[in-house]
Structure 1
Amino acid sequence: MINKQLLLPTLLASLVLAGCSSSPSKRYSIDDDIAPDAPISVDHIEDATPQYEPYSLGGNSNYTLRGESYTIIKEPKGFKQEGQASWYGKKFHGHLTSNGEIYDMYSMTAAHKELPIPSYVKVTNKDNGKTTVVRVNDRGPFHPGRIIDLSYAAALKLDVIRTGTANVAIEVISVDRPTQTHKQEALPKFVVQVASSKHQDRVETLAQDLSQKLSVKSYVNSASDIHRVFLGPFNDYMLTQKALEQVKELGYTSAFIKSH
């Protein structure tokens, strides 16, 4: 009988190469990474919100790639680094990241060689002064001099798409583990923002339809005459990711995950 406890770490370790833009593989439908054919605006996509998350089972073991050994940083608080940022997009969209999540080029995520997964990182483009916050959930990049691979959305916000790479400074944003007394209410929750509109009746109808089709909770939040449809909240990021993929398959390609 197969020992599943031994099999799981082996399987997850194999995902280290799955999402990194610097590790070509025949598993991808296109050879060279490119931007989406019809890119959507990322103005509505908010920075990742730093919060306490336990480290993932996958993607957090020390590893060796192309003769180089990489040691995961166990205590990243205060970690800072400078170097070049690159980005990855359509080629890897929909494929597994190093910890088994689905890479979404419209989420505010990134890849780093040694930071624990997940980590939250403030990225500053030293060439133009723009900043953003991303959630590290992947491994890479493995080109000399490059320290972080940004999702398409994050790279667009920092104006890295136009230049291809940029000189950046990164800084880990650490969030302490909640105390036992407040642990239940302090655990992270996530929602999927599906769409927004000035027409409240349409938004409410959409929320009801999606709730029935996907068998998930939904609600409408209204502010400044704008009505937004949300799915959730979810306590589990993987369940949130699943809901995001389902709603995108229904045609709502600009949907994205945010903290609740």
Structure 2
Amino acid sequence: MTNKLSLLLVSLVLLTAISSPLMAAQPGQVMTGVASYYHDSLHGNKTASGKVYNKNKLSAAHKTLPLGTKVRVTEPKTGRSVVLEVNDRGPFIKGRIIDLSRRAATELGMIKKGLAKVKVEILSVPGRRSGA
């Protein structure tokens, strides 16, 4: 009986640790950091959501936001912003918070630089009502 109880307790702790970052996402939450964009060679590859990456669409990868989350990404120096959907996981390079589709990077004016400091605002999270 003790082994079963221990296993249950460990399972609950692990489940909580894994799901906490995903559950913490709330509309209105803002993050700042460095954005990069997908290399053209990834065009046509399947994303973590199961959708096919299309460099001409507005999409992004984020490490922890729930897939399907809508975000507004703003480049503060220019004031340009785009609204897009998180449909993939990444970037997996230290210091970067979001990986953008080529179209999103183009609209933000960051293609030549490759990287840009951005503000990411959560607009909606699947299964959660805005303003709730």
Question: TM-score, structure 1 length as denominator?
Answer: 0.40
- Decide which of 84, 97, 100 is 2:34's aligned counterpart: 84
Which consecutive residues of structure 2, in runs of 5 or more, have no partner in the other structure?
1-14
Deviation of the 1:94 alpha carbon: 0.5
Equivalent position to 2:88, from 107, 113, 138 = 138
Q: In the TM superposition, what whole-angstrom CA distance separates every residue of 1:119-162 from its partner, at most 9, and x where no partner exists?
A: 00000102221111111000011111110000000000001111
- Are 1:112 and 2:62 counterparts? yes
Equivalent residue of 1:155, what SS?
A: helix
Does residue 102 (structure 1) correspond to residue 56 (structure 2)? The answer is no
Report the CA distance shift for 1:177/1:155 in structure 2 as closer, same or farther (over 3 A).
Answer: same
1:148 corresponds in structure 2 to 98
Could you tell me how far 1:79 is from its partner in structure 2?
A: 2.1
Distance 2:59 2:32 in 1: 18
CA contact (8 A) 2:62 2:91 kept: yes
User: C-alpha deviations, 1:82-140, integer Å up to 9, x for none?
Assistant: 00000013211101101111000101000000000010000010222111111100001
Larger Rg, first or second structure (1 or 2): 1
Higher relative contact order (CA 8 A, sep 6+): 2
How many Å separate the matches in 2 of 1:176 and 1:100?
A: 16
| Alignment RMSD | 2.5
Counterpart among 3, 12, 22 of residue 73 in structure 1: 22
CA distance, structure 2, for counterparts of residue 75 and residue 114 of structure 1:
9
Q: 1:160 aligns with which of 110, 117, 121?
A: 110
Question: Which of 130, 152, 169 pairs up with 2:119?
Answer: 169
Deviations along 1:196-222, one digit per CA (max 9) or x if unpaired, are xxxxxxxxxxxxxxxxxxxxxxxxxxx
TM-score if structure 2 supplies the norm length?
A: 0.76
SS at match of 1:157: helix
For 1:89, give the aligned amino acid: H
Query: Any idea what SS the aligned residue of 1:127 has?
Result: coil
Question: What amino acid sits opposite 2:34 in the alignment?
Answer: Q
Cα 1:176–1:152 shift into 2, 3 Å? closer
Equivalent pair of 2:69/2:125 in contact (CA under 8 Å)? no
8 A contact 1:126–1:166 mirrored in 2: no
Letter in 2 for 1:138: D
Q: Which residue of 2 aligns with 1:45?
A: none
